[in-house]
Structure formats: C-alpha cells, structure tokens
Structure 1
Amino acid sequence: MGVTGSPTNINQGTRTKGGIGESTLRPDGILKVTGEFAYSSDMWHEDMLWGHTLRSTVAHAEIASIDISEALATSGVYAVLTYDDLPTAMKNYGLEIQDTPVLAHGRVRHHGEPVALVAADHPETARRAAAKIRIDYRELPVVTDEASATAPGAPLIHEGRDDHHIGHVPHPNIVHRQPIVRGDAEAAKARADVVVTGDYYFGMQDQAFLGPESGLAVPAEDGGVDLYVATQWLHSDLRQIAPVLGLPEDKVRMTLSGVGGAFGGREDLSMQIHACLLALRTGKPVKIVYNRFESFFGHVHRHPARLHYEHGATRDGKLTHMKCRIVLDGGAYASASPAVVGNASSLAVGPYVIEDVDIEALALYTNNPPCGAMRGFGAVQACFAYEAQMDKLAAELGMDPVRFRQLNAMEQGTLLPTGQQVDSPAPVAELLRRVKAMPMPPERQWESAGEHPDVRALPGGLSNTTHGEGVVRGVGYAVGLKNVGFSEGFDDYSTARVRMEVIGGEPVATVHTAMAEVGQGGVTVHAQIARTELGVAQVTIHPADTKVGSAGSTSASRQTYVTGGAVKNSCEAVREQVLEMGRRKFGTYHPAWATAELLLEGGKVVTDGGEVLADVADVLEDEAVDIELEWRHRPTEAFDLRTGQGNGHVQYSFAAHRAVVEVDTELGLVKVIELACAQDVGKALNPLSVVGQIQGGTIQGMGIAVMEEIMVDPVTAKVRNPSFTDYLLPTILDTPTIPVDVLELADDHAPYGLRGIGEAPTLSSTPAVLAAIRNATGLELNRTPVRPEHLTGL
C-alpha cells in the first residue's frame, strides 16, 4: 500500500499512542477470527421461546383463508399470530414509504412474504407448527418487468397509493422517477464524430452477509419490550417498531447485538417486529434466528437494472453528450428505491465532464423480491454501463481507454449534471495514472510451480479442467464516482456522548453512540478520535443502544464522516470544559491558564509551548465531564423533479481499478488474477482498516461480475436459488491479488479531511473485470454476471 498526499489538520500536540493516522487493531478482531465473538444469534435468555415466520409460497395471490387451529393445538406452541392479531391500527412499516405490511393481509405480493408467526418452546416445534397452518391462495397474474408493470390494465401492486411520489410518476407501478436534464443533448449530438449506444443488464445481487437475521425480544415489567438485535440503524428501527406495537418509543428499548455483516441488507426491518409481537403476546422472551434459506427472503437485495446509454465524442476524444435511461426493479415494496433512483440518476454520467445530458431513472413496483440498499446502491449499476461505454468510445476512436478517460475526467471545480460543483479534490485522472502504473502480474503464473502446473492459478482452479490450453489474458480499467452520506435534503446527523473521568488515578474516556458496528471498524476509529482529541490512553466504547441520540444508518459510507464528526465534536466540548474547570481551579497560579492555547496530552494540561500546568486527574478529581452533542454536515437539497438540478450530495469518493483476468475460451471459465485499486480517501484515519475496506468492496464488485445473481423465474416470480449451494459467492480460492494505492487529498469540509471509502471500490471493480474479459475474448458482454455460456455461445 502507498499512502501519499497533503497532511490534514489534526491535534498536532497529541502524541497518545493509538490515535488518528495509526493502524490500530480492532478490539473485536481476535474474538471474530477465533469464533468467540457473540453475535445476535448467540443470545440466550432463561425460559426463552423460539419464533418462526411462515412465508408465502407464491408471488402474487389473494389470501382466501388462513386456518391456524392445527398449529395452535400443537404441543409446545404458545402463540400463533396473523394480521388480524396485530394490536394497533398501524400495521405497515417502511424506511420512507410505509407500504410493507407486518404480516400479509388480503394479498401476498412476493414469494416469501411473511404471513403468520409462531412461538414455541423449541425451534423445530415452531417450524413444524408453522407447516400445519393452512392457507388458501388464489393466484393472480404477476408483474415482473417494465412492460408488464405499465401495460394497459396491468395489475396494480399497491392500489390506492397516497405517498408523496405518486404525483410525479406516470404510472402507479412506478415507485419514483427522476429526470436530470442539463444543456441540450440532442443538439450536442450533432457535434459528435462518433456516437455509441449500449443496452445493459445488471443482475440482482444478495448482500450475503455472514450472520443471518436474528434477535431477542424480552417483555418488560412496565409493559414495554427490550430488543437485542443485529441491525444497521437502531433509531430507524425504533421509529417503525413502536407504532406497530402501540407503545411510546421510550418503552421500546433497543440494544445492538453482534452483527455478522450488513452491506445494506439490515437497513429494513426483518424479524424485529415479529419477535416483539410474540414476546408481548406470550409474556416470555422470544428469539428468532433465520436459517440461510429464510435469510434470502428476509431482506432486500440489490436492484437489478436495465440501462440504455448513448454517448458521443469528437475525433480528438472529447465527450459531446450523454443520454441514458435506467430502469430499476424495486420489487414488491418501496424500501430504499427512491434514494436508489436519486443516486442512479445524479451519478449516471460518472466521473466525467459532459455538459449536455438527458438522464431518466426510475424504479418499478413488481412481484419480484423487494430490493433496496446494497453497497454503492444506484451508482454501482450506472458505473457498469457508463464504463462499458467509455471502452466502446475509445475503441471507435482508436484511443487508449485510460487516456480517453483522463481526457474527460472531472476535477475539483467541475459542475455535475445536477448543477452542483465538486468543491473538494477529485483526482480521477491521477487515480487512473496510478493504477495503470502498478506492476503487472507475471504471465502464465501456473507454470512457476515447475513440471506440474499450479491449477489454482488457472480458470477452473482445482477442477483441473485445463493446463493452460486455450487460456487468454485480458486487462481492463474502470473508475467510478460515488456520493458519501445521505442526500437530497435528508437531515443527516449523528449524536455522540463522551464522558471523561478519573479511575484509579488515571484519566479515561467513554464514547457512547448508537452507531451500528457491522464490521466496518467504527468502534476502532471512535477510540482513535477520543485518544487524539483528549490525550487519554484508555478509551471505552459503550455498547450501542437507543439510550443515546441517533447515529443514523451504517450505510452510504457515512459513519466515519458523520458519527466520527460527532465524536470529535463532543470530545472537543469535553476538552474545553475540562480546561475551563482547570482555569477555575488553578488559573490564579499561572497566567497561561487564561489563554486558549491549551491541549490535553498524556494526562497533562499543557501550554502550546509544552509547559505542564497540571495533571488532568487533579482537575477531574471531584467530578466527571459528560457531554452529548449532535453533529451535522453541511446541508443538501432535493433534486428538482423536472430538471434534476440541485446540490443533492455532501461529498464524493473516487476509486479506479485495473483488472487482469485469464479466460479459458473453450469452456468459458474466468480466473481473475489481479484487481489493482487506487483510491483517494482524504485522510486514512486507520490505514490498515482503510485497505481492508477497499479490498472487501473490490471482491464484492468482482462477485457480481462473474458469479453472483439471485435468479427469479420470469413466469412465476419465484426465487430459484435461495441458498449458498446455488447462489455462488467468491471464496478465498477466487480472490485475486489486490494491491492498493491510497491517495490522501483532504476534503476541507470533512472532519480530519476524511472521505467515505467503503462503497467506491464496489463500483469500479465490476466494470473493470468485464472490460478485462472483453479484452481477452473480443465479446461485447453487456450483462452481469458473465457466465460460461456467454463466453462460449453454448
């Protein structure tokens, strides 16, 4: 890894070990790799019951009747609940649009929709009882694509819609539509010497997190409930859960339990309300743990997309215009579809300067599985298409694909198609230069083992299908543009409580936020910030819960920026209060106490010249300092619904990839040899964690390029492969070498100059792999994932 760039402003007086800029180790790292970490599925409570969800076996049908009598009579069963048993008039929930029923009522809209709940004294008893519930389904025609969703007389997925998007969509089966128009794309087309078009398909990807959905609900003596759950956003869950239970929010107490990955799949509710309902009905703790089959139906997925793009360029390689239409399949319920549409449209042009654009993005309601947040949402699908277009244009012009991109690369000061100016570093051309300059992996690596080839380095791997015959190498490049944080006027903020006190004669700090640690390493960074700002060696991270203000969602690459900013803000306030206490207590003894140039360093109060004034322990001997503050980044605004103009995003991140692949052209097998990445991170608060995030995002993008896709039957809308037997994931044997070059160019608007990093590498790794396969085979390959039959024509 290389780390270069300009320094950023941090507390230069602080030299406490383990602060900002150091590769401190994760406090949960050893526990996780040894299997000792307690995930939410490991929770246990005395006298606990087990909950189970019965799901629909069809994608679209009327529910004529439900008979629970046999299930309820099963020995060991304590409760069976259907829609009619819900305690309040509020029976729906949703992130933005409350269109998702807690349990199906009158109709099911997708395969696997929850219909009934069972609580029993053993998980197998609950499952067997659920299987005894008799449901009479009367199947209805299914809506599976744009043609069937918007055809005259098409079944309406949600009749009588009254959400705030309905007024600007051309059909009720369209969740949200966002055009972006700048300049005159049709007139600019006349200036083009070359025009290329493409139709692209992006498959439905699963988050495939390690730990399936799970949680434990414990009824309380005050009539409320305590919920221990793996989630991405405690306060959003609370806002949706409490009205359904008919409880005030202060009687629904939520604590984050160990989260086995998320990637967007835990932004929506899964088992939270179900466990609480069963606990309140039975008066006993209820635990729900999905198996992998249930998990595929229990959370949203990445939107599959169909994208049509047109680009033009002059003979000297300058882009003239761009037109595109992006259709996202949102499935049966809205989830995060409106935000995904916003991202897909506003980032559809990519990291390039194009003055004349005509963009349309929309999301559909269908009877396919619900889709919502997944790492890089909206921007991932668009990047796949516009990067394929860049390669097409470069080929038509006879130009090097990297050079062509650099000629058109945005930079600081560029106006986006939304009219927003990029007001922080945008080193797109430099990232491409760096990734291209990285050393190439050796040719024919499988021969390095000597007489017998190392088949692990060949397409097909240990299946031993080839010893190098028919294997062709390809190289491809891609670069992407991703927003950071919540956008379009959302009140994006976080809260942090910081306490500083003396324990055992030493100053210590406690950081308390509601941030969901889902594997991204926030618990490590928050401690680093506290050490940097307070100069203390010992920092405790309080478990995340709803006893502190909201931290927002662990998504959109926002937590280090926003919750890190909140921790920094609260630490600064604590520091100033400690110093003020010292001024009151000791100020008469030294004139330097009256100055503002004071820092906390190693348990000492010092002047800016390093003169020690007092021990912090002496200042705090009588009382602790405890401060909770909210922190907001600069505001954004909604995009105009006609033109798409508006300052919709707070920050942008950039990553570039070079993929090297080897393809067995006879069998259609692909081996990704290397995925080199260069990314600007603003400031690497924890360099080791930064590289881990980049490598993880890179592999997730590679997965959708060559193997990952949820298959949905186009006739029945049923999921065909809800298991890791049939839904293929990259393993360690599929993982290529991933050299990373980290560039640090500070964003002056962000804490420490940092830039959100988690999503950007997921964008560009997918089209880079596709570009490399095209380079090896000469095939057009306009869909993900690429399968053997696409390469062999079989």
Structure 2
Amino acid sequence: MSSPNGTPTKITQGSQTKGGIGESTLRPDGVLKVTGEFAYSSDMWHEDMLWGQILRSTVAHAEIVSIDTSEALALPGVHAVLTYDDLPTDVKNYGLEIQDTPVLAHGKVRHHGEPVAIVAADHPETARRAAAKIKVDYRELPVITDEASATAPDAILVHENRDDHHAGHVPHPNIVHRQPIVRGDVARARERADVIVEGEYTFGMQDQAFLGPESGLAVPEEDGGVHLYIATQWLHSDLRQIAPVLGLPEDKVRMTLSGVGGAFGGREDLSMQIHACLLALRTGKPVKIVYNRFESFFGHVHRHPAKLHYEHGATKDGKLTHMKCRIVLDGGAYASASPAVVGNASSLSVGPYVIDDVDIEAIALYTNNPPCGAMRGFGAVQACFAYEAQMDKLAKELGMDPVEFRQLNAMEQGTIMPTGQPVDSPAPVAELLRRVKAMPMPPERQWESSEGADVRQLPGGLSNTTHGEGVVRGVGYAVGIKNVGFSEGFDDYSTAKVRMEVVGGEPVVTVHTAMAEVGQGGVTVHAQIARTELGVTQVTINPADTRVGSAGSTSASRQTYVTGGAVKNACELVREKVLEIGRRKFGSYHPAWATAELLLEGGKVVTDGGEVLGDLADVLEDEVVEVEEEWRHRPTEPFDLRTGQGNGHVQYSFAAHRAVVEVDTELGLVKVIELACAQDVGKALNPLSVLGQIQGGTTQGLGVAVMEEIIVDPKTAKVKNPSFTDYLIPTILDTPTIPVDVLELADEHAPYGLRGIGEAPTLSSTPAVLAAIRNATGLELNRTPVRPEHLTGTSLSEA
C-alpha cells in the first residue's frame, strides 16, 4: 500500500481500537466457506417442505396456443401447478426499471428458457417429472437476434405494446434505450488530426457464473403473509416487485437474506422469488426452489454482448483530437438494467482520457436472445475493451510507446468528462500506468527452470499439447475508468441501525442493515467502522432483512461507500448520544466533559489529549442507545437525452493492468503468465479484502478475454452451451500471478476518503490480455473471447 501526495485521509475515531479501519481483519464467514460448513440458501430446510420446479420454454419466440396441466396435476405427490391464468392479481409483470417481464409467460414466449408454469410437489424428482408432463403447444415466430433484424422496417416487435418512460426518444420500439453524448465539434477537430484510426469490436455474452445457483425458501405465515429466505443482491428491490404480484402489502412479505454463493450482478433481477411465494401461498406449505446449473444459465441475466464502432484522431505529437463511437448492446428479451447500462457505456466510452470533441451514441436492443442486465463493470467493460484497443492502434500509427501515449492523454483531477461533469477527486491515471509498467517482469520460459520442467507453465497446461517450440511472449497494457454508485439522479441511499448497550459489564455494539453480503466482505467492514467510531471491540452484525430500511443493491461498487457511510453516520449519532449521557452524569465532576473534544477508545471515554474520563460501561450502565438513519451521498442528475450533458456520476475509480502472455502461435494456445495491477482505492478499509477484490475482478476479466462466452444460435436464438462443461471459466490452473500496487489517494467527498474498488479491475484486465496477445502474434483480434481459431486462422471443423 502506498500514499503519494493527495488529500489526507481523516479518521476521527478509534484508530487505536483493535480490529478497526485500516486493519486486515478476517471475514467471519471465511473459514466456514473454505471448509464447506457455511449454510447457503440451497441448504435451507423446513418441516413439511414442498419442492418447486419451473417449466421453461423450449423455443425462443412463439405464440402459446395452449397449455395442458392435467397430467401433471394427476401425478401423486403434486400439490399445485400454476400458469399465468392462476396469478392472484392484475399485476402480472415485474422489472427493475421497466415492468415488462411476465411472472409466467402469457400469449407468447420471448426467449429460450422463459418460465411458463410452476409446480409444487413433495419431492424434487416428483416436481421435475410433473413439470415434464405439462403439455405446451407453441406456434413458432421469427426470431429477432441482432440490430438488423430488430430495426428493419418490417421487424416483428418483441414487445407489441410498449408504454414506458423510455419509448418517446428511441427510433424504434425494439430499442430499449438510447443515450447520445455530444460535446465540442468533431468535424472541425477531425481536420486537425494527423492520424485517424477506426475499429469494429465485438464483445461476447458473459455469464456471472456464480457458484451457488438460484435458491430460496418461502414460508407462509399465519397472518396471510409470507416469509422469503433468499439469496439476492437487493432485498428491498425484490420486495417492491414481489408484493404487488402477490396482492400483499409490503409489511406482509418478510424477507431475510440467506447464504449467497456469489452474485456479480446476476442476482439483481428476480429469479425464483415470486414463484416460490406463489406456490407457498397456494399450498399453505413452505416451498423450496433450487435451480440446477442448467436452469441457472436461463434463470438470470447475463452481461450484454456488444458491437462497438470507434474512430479516434490524434496529432503527430500524440494528442487526441476527437472521438466518435457507436455502441450497440443486446439487451435480450426484457429490459432489466439495460437503460442504466446504456448510460454507463455512453458516459464512460471515452475512457480515462482528455478528449474535448466527442460524438457518442449508445443503444440497447430488445431481441429474442437471453435477457441481459447487470454484471460487474456494467457497460464500462465493453467500452474499455474497444477504446483501449484504439489507444494501441494510435500509438502504433504514431510510432509511440503505448504507455507513454496513454500517459500523454491521461485525465487528472479537474478534467471535464464528455458529459460536462468535472472530475473533482484524484484521478491518477498516468501514475497508475507508470507504476504498473515499473513492476518487475516475470521470468522468461518458466517451464525450463533449473528445478525441472513444469508443463503447467506452458500454453495448454496439463494437457501438454505444446512443448514450447513455437511459444512467443507478449506484453500489453490497459487502463480503465468506472463510476461508483448509482447514477443519473437515482436516489441512492442506505439505512443503518446501530445499537449500543452494556452486556456482561462490557460495551457491545449491534449493527443492522439490509446489505446483501454476497462475498464482498461488507459485514467485516461494517464491524470495523463500528469499532473505529465507537471505540469498542465487541460488535455483532445482525442478519440482513427487511425489518430495517433499504441498503440498496450490492452492486456498482457502492456498498462500502453508501452502506458503510450509513453505518458511520449512525455510529456518529450513537456516539453523540452516549457522550450526552456522560456529560449529564459526570460533567459536574470533571470540566473536560464540557470543554474537551471527546473520543471513544478501547471501551473508554478519552479527551483528544489522551486523558481518560471514564469507562463506557459506567456511562451507559442500564441505558440502551439506538439509532436508525438513512444516509445519502451527494446528488447526481440525469443525462440530457439529446446531448448527454449532466453531472450523472458521484465518483470514479481507476485501475491499470499489464498482461504478460505466452502464445503457441501454431496451435493457437494462450497462457496468461501474469496480470499485474495498479489501482487507486482512496482508503483501504480492509487491505486484505481490497487485494481479494482486485484479484477477483482481474480474474473475471481474464475469463472473458480468453474463454468465457454464452453461445446463442443466430437462427433459433437458443443457448447452445448452458453448462460448465461447455461454458468455461478460469480455474486455479488458468489464473496467473496477480501482483497488486495499491494507491490510497483520498476522495474528500467520501467516507474515510474511500473509493469503490470491486469493478475497476474487471475493465482493464480484458483489454490488457488482448493487447498482449496482439503483441505476441501481430494479429488485430477485435473480439472477445479469443479462441484458438482466431490465432491460427483454422476453424475447429477444419482442424
């Protein structure tokens, strides 16, 4: 960790309290997860429990002629079979922003794997057999799979009756959202360019590939309500969508977070939540639903695949003159988070560079492909892949070093974004590039070390398909910019309840929020904040549920900033109440209670000079102090729908990568040897967790660079590889060394000066790997992921 000159980080309390901010405290769930003892939502059990099963469409686009459930209902052990006609209220759709997703398909299906009917039975195999006995008669329709088929004059509409707040400014009903950004005069700036480069880029559909499939348990309650135990990213968003469909007030839909086996955006949308609740309320029994891996590929949204066209210009001395781009994101059959992804992709499409003249357009399509929505990096990942390839093209045309070219054009604090928003916190882009380039290089030809050959270091790994004769090393660099938190005027807040009392003669703090712990380590940070602000060691984190106000989503790198900010705020209010009690009780005995600045440290009240005034246990005695407060960061505003201007983001994060790869150019095999990273985190609240987030995000970016892609048949819109046999993710053998250099340049607007960190490394790792492979092979490589046939020019069918 290093802190070059920047805004100092101010920590007002508890810097001497064990387990506070800045320490690498261990996660309470860590050992349990490693040893297999952690209870995930799929492990839940209830007496007299039924099992739910979903029947999914076998085609991507079709009219539903009829549904016959009689054979399923007649099967012994089946308690309920529900279709669209059995839904209890007139509210039959849901959605994050646009309520266009039917709870169960009605009239037609719009994508492969869409839910059509649900079953509850006394055994999971019985439920599966019953679902298979439901007869659905489909009349297939032509599929919309790309921009050409979506926007043709005679195109079939994916949604026949669009009535939402996005429809007024899009050129076609099969476009979910459009965001242009225009600033300066591109035509005039283009005349100043000595070099102009263009590129067409294709980004594949990536799956979140979390290890715990969707699961939950719905328990009917005596008051007619239901209690849902669920693995999710946003309890209150789920609640807002579930309750109207059930016809229940929100206070009768109780929700408790259960063990979450990863998320990465794939749990922002609903999956089986409503289905489990419907079956529980219909049968009067608890109902558990657990997807298998095949179902999981159909049960959640994916990362938007994208087509990107970029044009950049530069003067002969290396200064960027202008940028034009068009980004087409495939949102699939339903809107999900597509409007927000479009906003991110467009507003961050320039990257961390100074370009005064830009002409940007980003759109998201409705198609019959699988629905796409939130995934780590959220629109900025696709843009970074393209603009970083453009930076390498320009540097090559100008005969410049690619890192020096980037540094010459790097933004800094005070730079004006294409949206007109000034960057008002540290933006150490050039410094990150310098640091990552200065890291020691890994040794050459590691498989030929003096200690003996290690085939794991060869491209192809343990399959031993190469012996190293045709292996070439390549090095590539990339840097990216990602927004932190929700943007464009969204009311982004969180709530925290903090309680302080004496238990067993010792002051104890309890923290209660609705934050979804999905593996990011938020529960650890919340305890660290409480120790720091209240000077106690014993902190309990209550389970997340809807008995406390919303914490928003565990996404957009926002939870440490926003819910951490809420915990900090609530702790500060508790501290003031505790000190008021102390002043009332002991103020007459010691004038410092009234005149000194007081701190809570190590279970005691002390002055800022270190004088101990008393024990917290004596101050509180039988009193309990509890505060529940909402906390908001500074406001943002929507982007103008014509010009894209507006202060749309609250904070930015930056990361740079250097990739070192070795490529067998004859066989098309790639081994990523190292992915070095430098990232500014503002303030490392838990240094160990910071490293874990950076290394995890880096590995996810590696996956989409060289192996991960959901393959959709362009003729049928059916998913061809819904399993981990055919959809490959990096294993420990694929994961390279990931050295990390962490900067701590405080953002004065954020709690403790922190900066959201979880997404930025996912951006720049992918283009860095592609740049390194280009460096090794001399090929253009304008798509992800890179496959062997892209490197050898031979398709698999020809090999």
TM-score (norm 2): 0.99
Deviations 1:88-110 (A, max 9, x none): 00000000000000000000000
Residue equivalent to 2:738: 738
Residue equivalent to 1:265: 266
* 8 Å CA contact retained: 1:3, 1:741: no
Deviations 1:530-564 (A, max 9, x none): 00000000000000000000000000000000000
Structure-1 separation of matches of 2:746 and 2:546: 33
* 8 Å CA contact retained: 1:4, 1:742: no
Structure-1 separation of matches of 2:86 and 2:605: 61
Residue equivalent to 1:177: 178
* 8 Å CA contact retained: 1:2, 1:740: no
Deviations 1:504-527 (A, max 9, x none): 000010000000000000000000
Query: What SS is found at the alignment partner of 2:432?
Result: helix
Cα deviation, residue 588, structure 1: 1.1
Deviations 1:412-453 (A, max 9, x none): 000000000000000000000000000000001100155x52
Residue equivalent to 1:127: 128
Structure-1 separation of matches of 2:433 and 2:672: 20
Structure-1 separation of matches of 2:349 and 2:626: 45
Relative to structure 1, is the Cα distance of residues 110 and 205 closer, same or farther in structure 2, using a 3 angstrom cutoff? same
Residue equivalent to 1:277: 278
Residue equivalent to 2:336: 335
Residue equivalent to 1:252: 253
1:599 paired with 2:584, answer: no
* 8 Å CA contact retained: 2:15, 2:21: no
Structure-1 separation of matches of 2:768 and 2:515: 33
Query: What SS is found at the alignment partner of 2:475?
Result: strand
1:345 paired with 2:346, answer: yes
Cα deviation, residue 153, structure 1: 1.2
- Letter of the 1:460 counterpart: G
* 8 Å CA contact retained: 2:54, 2:115: yes
Residue equivalent to 1:226: 227
Residue equivalent to 2:402: 401
Residue equivalent to 1:10: 11
- Letter of the 1:496 counterpart: A
Query: What SS is found at the alignment partner of 2:449?
Result: helix
Cα deviation, residue 623, structure 1: 1.3
Residue equivalent to 2:20: 19
Structure-2 separation of matches of 1:654 and 1:393: 22
Structure-2 separation of matches of 1:593 and 1:688: 38
Query: What SS is found at the alignment partner of 1:588?
Result: coil
* 8 Å CA contact retained: 1:72, 1:129: yes
Structure-1 separation of matches of 2:386 and 2:430: 19
Residue equivalent to 1:754: 754
1:100 paired with 2:92, answer: no
Query: What SS is found at the alignment partner of 1:176?
Result: strand
Structure-1 separation of matches of 2:570 and 2:611: 26
Deviations 1:324-366 (A, max 9, x none): 0000000000000000000000000000000000000000000
Cα deviation, residue 454, structure 1: 1.1
Structure-2 separation of matches of 1:528 and 1:616: 18
Relative to structure 1, is the Cα distance of residues 61 and 192 closer, same or farther in structure 2, using a 3 angstrom cutoff? same
- Letter of the 1:44 counterpart: W
Residue equivalent to 1:421: 422
* 8 Å CA contact retained: 2:746, 2:754: yes
Structure-1 separation of matches of 2:307 and 2:601: 56
- Letter of the 2:367 counterpart: T
Residue equivalent to 1:764: 764
Structure-2 separation of matches of 1:220 and 1:14: 46
1:657-668 paired onto structure 2 within 5 Å: 657-668=657-668
Query: What SS is found at the alignment partner of 2:731?
Result: coil
Deviations 1:689-743 (A, max 9, x none): 0000000000000000000000000000000000000001100000000000000
Residue equivalent to 1:539: 539
Deviations 1:350-389 (A, max 9, x none): 0000000000000000000000000001000000000000
Structure-1 separation of matches of 2:561 and 2:501: 26
1:534-613 paired onto structure 2 within 5 Å: 534-595=534-595, 597-613=597-613
Residue equivalent to 1:52: 53
- Letter of the 2:711 counterpart: M
Structure-1 separation of matches of 2:507 and 2:450: 57
Q: Which moved more, 1:600-609 or 1:720-729?
A: 600-609
1:379 paired with 2:384, answer: no
Query: What SS is found at the alignment partner of 1:589?
Result: coil
Query: What SS is found at the alignment partner of 1:244?
Result: helix
Residue equivalent to 1:138: 139
Residue equivalent to 1:82: 83
CA RMSD of aligned residues (A): 0.8
Structure-2 separation of matches of 1:624 and 1:361: 53
Residue equivalent to 2:288: 287
Cα deviation, residue 761, structure 1: 0.1
Cα deviation, residue 595, structure 1: 2.9
Relative to structure 1, is the Cα distance of residues 5 and 263 closer, same or farther in structure 2, using a 3 angstrom cutoff? farther
Cα deviation, residue 622, structure 1: 2.1
Cα deviation, residue 773, structure 1: 0.1
Residue equivalent to 2:527: 527
* 8 Å CA contact retained: 1:453, 1:467: no
Query: What SS is found at the alignment partner of 1:672?
Result: strand
Q: Which moved more, 1:617-626 or 1:163-172?
A: 617-626
Residue equivalent to 1:363: 364
Structure-2 separation of matches of 1:199 and 1:185: 19
Structure-2 separation of matches of 1:14 and 1:701: 35
Structure-2 separation of matches of 1:419 and 1:195: 24
Residue equivalent to 1:509: 509
TM-score (norm 1): 0.99
Deviations 1:133-153 (A, max 9, x none): 000000000000000000011
- Letter of the 1:211 counterpart: G
Relative to structure 1, is the Cα distance of residues 522 and 13 closer, same or farther in structure 2, using a 3 angstrom cutoff? closer
* 8 Å CA contact retained: 2:13, 2:599: no
Query: What SS is found at the alignment partner of 1:90?
Result: coil
1:466-477 paired onto structure 2 within 5 Å: 466-477=466-477
- Letter of the 2:570 counterpart: S
Deviations 1:100-136 (A, max 9, x none): 0000000000000000000000000000000000000
Deviations 1:250-269 (A, max 9, x none): 00000000000000000000
- Letter of the 1:333 counterpart: Y
Cα deviation, residue 81, structure 1: 0.2
Cα deviation, residue 593, structure 1: 1.2
- Letter of the 2:17 counterpart: T
Structure-2 separation of matches of 1:462 and 1:593: 69
Residue equivalent to 1:671: 671
Relative to structure 1, is the Cα distance of residues 5 and 254 closer, same or farther in structure 2, using a 3 angstrom cutoff? farther
1:446 paired with 2:447, answer: yes
Cα deviation, residue 4, structure 1: 5.6
Structure-2 separation of matches of 1:792 and 1:547: 58
Query: What SS is found at the alignment partner of 1:277?
Result: helix
1:157-176 paired onto structure 2 within 5 Å: 157-176=158-177
Relative to structure 1, is the Cα distance of residues 290 and 741 closer, same or farther in structure 2, using a 3 angstrom cutoff? same
Residue equivalent to 1:153: 154
Structure-2 separation of matches of 1:604 and 1:432: 45
Residue equivalent to 2:797: none
* 8 Å CA contact retained: 1:495, 1:551: yes
Cα deviation, residue 3, structure 1: 6.2
